[in-house]
Structures are given as structure tokens and as C-alpha cells.
């Protein structure tokens, strides 16, 4: 059985000199560099390259990537490379312009600025996110709420998650027994892909806000996009087993607010109120003060100019 080690594993794809450390990093590299965003010819070449692998466990793990794609624990650190977005002509590399000239290509950097603006209850930022007349109560950056609440009561959480995912997409999953009841969804006796995806997803921002002085707050997620697109997760073992990032995060909100019954504590612990299920907001960061023609057609995305974002949240 292949175990997690620090051994370097050579990527099987020709002309790729990457040697990730351990199986997990090899899978992350392989998906990002040779599957995600590639056309059918590219993916077939990658599939053919796997045949040269002698280790059956490595081969089986990589082949699985063609039948199932979902968020990983380290999704934010996935290795991606797109030469069309990386080409430049700088003869000198000046750090002064790193943010000012939007050399930075990292969504997390701008997501942090957005979080700072929301924490300030900045009216302009709230208006761009359709949160006018809302009081921002809490902002959670890179919110791993599912994993964190699982740690609070693993058995109760797993039972609730198992019921939720089986109702949403019957799969015959089993948590396990004899001490395995506390296992993360990735390690259930019979895993449910949707349960794994929900546990591994990491919304960029979670925002708790109150509308028009309503005592009961609302929880929403903000998915931040700069150069990347909204992901779609799939499992080819079942028909129509496919969820976009937005749909998956909507399910997480439903589970947290309805099934887990999240509460908010008021008045120094003397009063608890239920949290309303909000929505998933897509914030698209763009250079300049106005959106490009390419972005205008994406009506579901809310435009956040980086120049304005830096003024407010830097």
C-alpha cells in the first residue's frame, strides 16, 4: 500500500520535470498542470503517460483524477501555470509596483483587502456587493467552518453530514464504527464524494451581517475571483453528479444554518439567535475603474475595481 512519505515522485508526463514530494502533491500538480483547463487531446496525452508508472497505487490515484474532481484541502495552493497570463516584458523587477501596478496575481491578496473593507463597514464596498443598509458583524477570512465545527463534536457532526448528503445525493455512504465514527469525511468507511467536497471546500470569505436592524443575522459566503473562473466539481460514476463552486457553497450554507443550526450569541452570552442562510456572492476583481467587455457578460459576478479596493482595504 502506498503511504504518505517525503519521497519525491517524478511526474510521468513527457517534458514535465516536476518531482513533487509525496503522493498528495503529485496529484495536486498533475490535476493543475495536466488536467484542469486542458482540451481532450491534452487530457488523453496525460492519461496515456500514466501507463508508464510502475507503482500501482500511484497509477490508480492519478487515473481517479479523470473521473472525479473536487476541492482539495490545499486547493488555494494548487499549482497552476498559464503562459498567456504570465508573459511580461519587464527589464527590471521593482517591488514598489507590486500592488500599485497590480503585478500581484494572487486572489487571496485582494480577498484580504476586501475583508478589511468589510470589517470597516465601508459603504462603497457594501454597495458593490449588494449589501447596502447592512451592518457587518463578523468577517471570516478563508473560512473553514465545516472542518472547525467537525472538530467540536465529530460524531454528531458526521451523523448530520451523512444524513444531509445522502438526502441530497443518495450514495450508500457509511461513516464507520469501532472508533472510526470521528473520521473526517475523506476517511469514512464508504466515502460520499459530496461530503468530502463540502468538508474540503474553503470559501474565501464568510460574512455575518444584519439587515435593517433585524436582530437575527445572516451568513453569506463571498467567492473571490481575479484571473480564475468558477470551478465545477464532478464525479463520473453517477449521472449528473456535478456541482459548481457556488452550488457547493450554497449546500454548505444550508447545512450550517438549517441542519447544524448555527447560533449567534448576543448580550454577552445571555441570548442566542438563529443565523439565517444567506447566499454565495461572486466578487470579480478587475484592473482599472471599470469592468472589461469580457467580464460584463457575467451578470452574476459583482465587479470590484482593484484600484478602489486598495484605497479602502490596504
H or E element: which one contains 106? none
What integer pLDDT is reported at residue 266 of this predicted model? 78
Identify whether the C-beta of residue 141 lies closer than 8 Å to the C-beta of residue 166.
no
Contacts 24+ apart (CB under 8 A), 164-170: 164/251, 164/255, 164/259, 165/192, 165/194, 165/195, 165/198, 166/192, 168/194, 168/251, 169/194, 169/238, 169/241
pLDDT at 207 over 80: yes
Task: Give the pLDDT band (50/70/90) at residue 77.
Answer: very low
Decide if pLDDT at 37 tops 70: no
Nearest to 288 by CA among 102, 113, 127, 106: 102
Phi-psi region of 108 (alpha: psi -120 to 50; beta: other; left: phi over 0): alpha
| pLDDT for residue 297 is more than 60 | no
DSSP annotation string for 21-75: BHHHHHHHHHIIIIITT--HHHHHHHHHHHTT---HHHHHHHHHTTTEE---TTG
pLDDT of amino acid 84: 40
Q: Can you give the pLDDT at residue 295?
A: 45
The reported pTM is: 0.76
Mean pLDDT across 107-127: 94
Q: Are strands 263-266 and 301-305 parallel, antiparallel or unpaired?
A: unpaired
Residue 13: the pLDDT is: 85
Phi-psi group of 125: left, alpha or beta (phi > 0 → left; psi -120 to 50 → alpha; rest → beta): alpha
Q: What is the pLDDT of residue 289?
A: 53
Q: Is the pLDDT of residue 225 over 90?
A: yes
pLDDT at 127 over 90: yes
Least confident of 26-40, 73-87, 211-225: 73-87
- Output the pLDDT for position 29: 84
Q: What is the reported pLDDT for 65? A: 73
**More confidently predicted of 307 and 209:** 209
Q: Is 3's pLDDT higher than 60?
A: no
Rounded (10°) CA dihedral 15, 21, 23, 25: -80
Range with the poorest average pLDDT among 2-6, 37-41, 46-50, 147-151: 2-6
The strand pair at 218-225 and 205-211 is best described as antiparallel
Q: How many CB atoms lie within 10 A of CB 11?
A: 19
pLDDT of amino acid 22: 75
Task: Give the CA diameter of the chain.
Answer: 64
Highest-pLDDT range among 30-44, 86-100, 156-170, 259-273:
156-170
pLDDT at 12: 85
Q: Which three cell numbers stand for residue 58?
A: 500511484
Q: Where are the domains of the chain?
A: 106-143+202-313, 147-198
Q: Do 276 and 218 meet the contact criterion of CB atoms below 8 Å apart?
A: yes
- Whether 293 shows a pLDDT value over 80: the answer reads no
Residue that has been written with the C-alpha cell 465545527 in this structure: 149
Residue 94 predicted with pLDDT over 50: yes
Amino acid at each position: 500500500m502506498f503511504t504518505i512519505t517525503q519521497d519525491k515522485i517524478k511526474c510521468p508526463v513527457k517534458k514535465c520535470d516536476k518531482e513533487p514530494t509525496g503522493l498528495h502533491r503529485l496529484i495536486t500538480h498533475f490535476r493543475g498542470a495536466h488536467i484542469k483547463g486542458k482540451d481532450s487531446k491534452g487530457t488523453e496525452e496525460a492519461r496515456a503517460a500514466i501507463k508508464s508508472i510502475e507503482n500501482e497505487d500511484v497509477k490508480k490515484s492519478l487515473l481517479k483524477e479523470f473521473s472525479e474532481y473536487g476541492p482539495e484541502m490545499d486547493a488555494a495552493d494548487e499549482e497552476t501555470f498559464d503562459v498567456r497570463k504570465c508573459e511580461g516584458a519587464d527589464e527590471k523587477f521593482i517591488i514598489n509596483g507590486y500592488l500599485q501596478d497590480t503585478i500581484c496575481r494572487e486572489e487571496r491578496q485582494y480577498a484580504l483587502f476586501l475583508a478589511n473593507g468589510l470589517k470597516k463597514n465601508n459603504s462603497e464596498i457594501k454597495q458593490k456587493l449588494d449589501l447596502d443598509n447592512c451592518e457587518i458583524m463578523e468577517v471570516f477570512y478563508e473560512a473553514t467552518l465545516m472542518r472547525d465545527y467537525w472538530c467540536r463534536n465529530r460524531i454528531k457532526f458526521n451523523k448530520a453530514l451523512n444524513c444531509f448528503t445522502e438526502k441530497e445525493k443518495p450514495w450508500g455512504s457509511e461513516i464507520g464504527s469501532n472508533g472510526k465514527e470521528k473520521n473526517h469525511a475523506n476517511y469514512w468507511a464508504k466515502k460520499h464524494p459530496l461530503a468530502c467536497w463540502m468538508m474540503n471546500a474553503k470559501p474565501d470569505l464568510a460574512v455575518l451581517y444584519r439587515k435593517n436592524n433585524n436582530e437575527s443575522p445572516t451568513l453569506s459566503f463571498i467567492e473571490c475571483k481575479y484571473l480564475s473562473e468558477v470551478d465545477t466539481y464532478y464525479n463520473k460514476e453517477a449521472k449528473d453528479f456535478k456541482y459548481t463552486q457556488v452550488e457547493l457553497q450554497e449546500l454548505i450554507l444550508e447545512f450550517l444554518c438549517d441542519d447544524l443550526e448555527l447560533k449567534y450569541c448576543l448580550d454577552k452570552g445571555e441570548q442566542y439567535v438563529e443565523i439565517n442562510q444567506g447566499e454565495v456572492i461572486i466578487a470579480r476583481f478587475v484592473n482599472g475603474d471599470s469592468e472589461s467587455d469580457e467580464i460584463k457578460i457575467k451578470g452574476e459576478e459583482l465587479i470590484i475595481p482593484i484600484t478602489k479596493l486598495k484605497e479602502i482595504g490596504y
